[in-house]
Chains A and B, each alone.
Chain A
């Protein structure tokens, strides 16, 4: 049930672009993206709902392909502040009014000058 993220790690130079992928074998209700810096709590980036449109936040955007149950996070013109571990969370309806969010193992992104 845990979504699979790829790549596991990536190193970028400032200004370069990156794509992080997240795939699930289960039908999804939504996909969440969070970023966690070392020693800190995860911070919300965006949610993509089934049937929804591509979302964007500044130079970070994401898409959700319902047919393939895949989501991709796009980071353009990366900045040093983008460094951290990115987690996708796939949300399924697990019955009795409950929605379970299952996180992938994360993608470690390092942006260097």
Chain B
């Protein structure tokens, strides 16, 4: 089946504009994660969804960042009033995690490269 898909693959925006990044997880995966990776850096956790709810939003860097997930499937990460420091690759991952019990591997999408000018 299809893997995790993200769109757009690249986004260039002007400082101060809002952007929306989309993630389509693997069908049937209940858990969805957003990460941010700056050039040459590790993966920074942003937010985790279990179904449509987000029990952990602790990684969102500021109130300009928000995310939602509808129908237990597609998720959108929105960044308002973008700043240059928001430039990074935004990665989405999904897994079978049910919120309790065993841990499952995460499958990553190809990412969205965001450049704020």
- Report A's interface with B, CB cutoff 8 A: 2, 29-30, 32, 34, 40-44, 47, 49, 87, 89, 91, 94-106
A contacts with B: majority SS: strand
With the chains together, A102 CA to B91 CA distance in Å? 14
Instruction: Report yes or no: B42 in contact with A105, Cβ–Cβ below 8 A.
Output: yes
Given contacts A41-B110, A87-B42, A105-B41, contact A100 B56 (CB under 8 A): yes
Q: Is B55 an interface residue (CB 8 A)?
A: yes
B contacts with A: majority SS: loop
How many residue pairs bridge A and B at CB < 8 Å? 65
Point out the residues of chain B lying under 8 angstroms from A89, CB to CB: 43
Give 3 closest A-B pairs by Cβ, nearest first.
A98-B55, A41-B108, A44-B105
With the chains together, A69 CA to B16 CA distance in Å? 43
CB closest chain-A residue, reference B50: A97
User: Interface with A: B18-26, B60-68, B71-79, B96-104, which one?
Assistant: B96-104
- Report B's interface with A, CB cutoff 8 A: 33, 35, 41-45, 48, 50, 55-56, 58-59, 91, 97, 99-100, 102-111
Instruction: Report yes or no: B45 in contact with A47, Cβ–Cβ below 8 A.
Output: no
With the chains together, A34 CA to B110 CA distance in Å? 15
With the chains together, A44 CA to B43 CA distance in Å? 14
CB closest chain-A residue, reference B49: A98
New A-B pairs, 15, CB < 8 Å, besides A41-B111, A94-B56, A97-B99:
A29-B103, A40-B110, A41-B108, A42-B43, A43-B108, A44-B105, A47-B104, A47-B105, A98-B99, A100-B48, A101-B106, A103-B35, A103-B42, A103-B44, A105-B42
Instruction: Report yes or no: B109 in contact with A41, Cβ–Cβ below 8 A.
Output: yes
Point out the residues of chain A lying under 8 angstroms from B107, CB to CB: 44
